[in-house]
Structure 1
Amino acid sequence: MLRIGTWRSAESIDVVACGWHDDGPGPLETGIKLIYGIDGRVPAFPGLRVGPLAARGAEEIAVLLSQGLDVVLTAPGCCPAAPVVAAGMWHYGWTRGDAGPLAGATVAGLALAAQRGPCSVEIRRDGRSSLDGDVTAAAVRAGLADRFPGGRYRTPEVTVPLESVRLSQEAPSRILIALRAGAAR
């Protein structure tokens, strides 16, 4: 399981935290990685390995996470979905050939980035996800529609058509996000 969350308030910095819990063969592994968008001074992260350069996209972020960094910095203007897509690439080993999972993570990343308060997404290996926080399916759909000019969202890794996005309200504070099979390129 891979959970990705943000902290957003007037008093805090904007950080994306990726947490994982592996239940596969071998020893249990858990942990946290931080992806921090820089737009000014970088705070001190004592005791953590911080990347020396700001990553510009999902693939660069995933490579830096794979190198064992604890904190990856992202450049201003980085795609808002990139931290979530990168976390999936790093954790699950997705490549550009995994269009479905990449598309699902892209939509989850855009939905997460549009939330004003603390929120999290849980990403599954197949790219299906859930968004947890003060959310409704209608509000998430409206926020996504604003990000899909011409009905499509393009990243270097994948193109997602808005009509393929399926949202369902599972609980008052939980939205399931799925894509129609084969819709992404």
Structure 2
Amino acid sequence: MLRIGTWRSAESVDVVACGWRDSGPGQPRTGIKLIYGIDGRPIPDLDGLRVATLVARGAEEIAELLFDGADVVFTAPGCCPAAPVVAAGIWHYGWTRRDRGALAGATVAGLALAAQPGPCSVEIWPDGRSSLDGDVTTAAVRACLAAHFSGGRYRTPEVTVPLESVRLSQEAPSRIGIALSAAAR
């Protein structure tokens, strides 16, 4: 399973840290990967880490840099807020454009994660199902998602997700399950 989290504070850059508890296809790639959004704030000193020299503009570019061995990837302003989560799934599970259900699930999980104001995490399974952990409720997550879905759909270069396909369930006071109906596949 793939676990992705954020931490935010006024003095830091937003960060998505991806930790692995299992291995994906090919050689095992375990550890921590950092994906920073560049938005004019100073970039922290990252001595000892392999920093990508290119700034990624979307999920496929982020994943490509992770496949190339980068420990840290920077994203351009205006990058899809779900892109880091989708990219981590592509890198970890080896998803391709044929894995529409998994990509759609990761897109919804990424949007839900990006909308949270404080520390939060998602766990993503190989089929794209996920759970969101933090100070969250289904009503708040549904409202955040609805704000992103123009005309009832969210489009990325990889997939289009209809809002009516999103299934949220409050699994615990601080945990929401995220799944998609067959309409998103």
Q: Give the TM-score of the pair, scaled to structure 1.
A: 0.95
Indicate if the aligned counterparts of 1:21 and 1:29 stay in contact, CA closer than 8 A: no
How far apart are 1:24 and its partner, in Å?
7.7
Deviations along 1:29-86, one digit per CA (max 9) or x if unpaired, are: 6311000111123221010000001100000000000111100110110000000000
The alignment status of 1:74 with 2:75, answered yes or no, reads: yes
Indicate if the aligned counterparts of 2:153 and 2:161 stay in contact, CA closer than 8 A: yes
Indicate if the aligned counterparts of 1:153 and 1:160 stay in contact, CA closer than 8 A: yes
Q: Which residue of 1 aligns with 2:56?
A: 55
Q: Distance in 2 between matches of 1:129 and 1:26?
A: 23
Q: Which residue of 2 aligns with 1:14?
A: 14
Q: Distance in 2 between matches of 1:47 and 1:22?
A: 24
Indicate if the aligned counterparts of 1:167 and 1:177 stay in contact, CA closer than 8 A: yes
Indicate if the aligned counterparts of 2:49 and 2:72 stay in contact, CA closer than 8 A: yes
Q: Which residue of 1 aligns with 2:92?
A: 91
Larger deviation, residues 118-127 vs 2-11 = 2-11
Indicate if the aligned counterparts of 1:145 and 1:162 stay in contact, CA closer than 8 A: yes
**Matched residues, percent identical?**
82
Indicate if the aligned counterparts of 2:23 and 2:30 stay in contact, CA closer than 8 A: no
RMSD: 1.7
1:27–1:106 CA distance, 2 compared to 1 (3 A): closer
How far apart are 1:129 and its partner, in Å?
0.1
Structure 2, unpaired ranges of 5+: none
Q: Give the TM-score of the pair, scaled to structure 2.
A: 0.95
The alignment status of 1:37 with 2:37, answered yes or no, reads: yes
| Structure 2 counterpart SS, 1:30 | coil
Q: Distance in 1 between matches of 2:134 and 2:7?
A: 11
Deviations along 1:114-160, one digit per CA (max 9) or x if unpaired, are: 00000000000000000000000110001100000100000000000
**Length, aligned pairs only:** 184
AA at the equivalent of 2:92 = H
AA at the equivalent of 1:143 = C
How far apart are 1:9 and its partner, in Å?
1.7
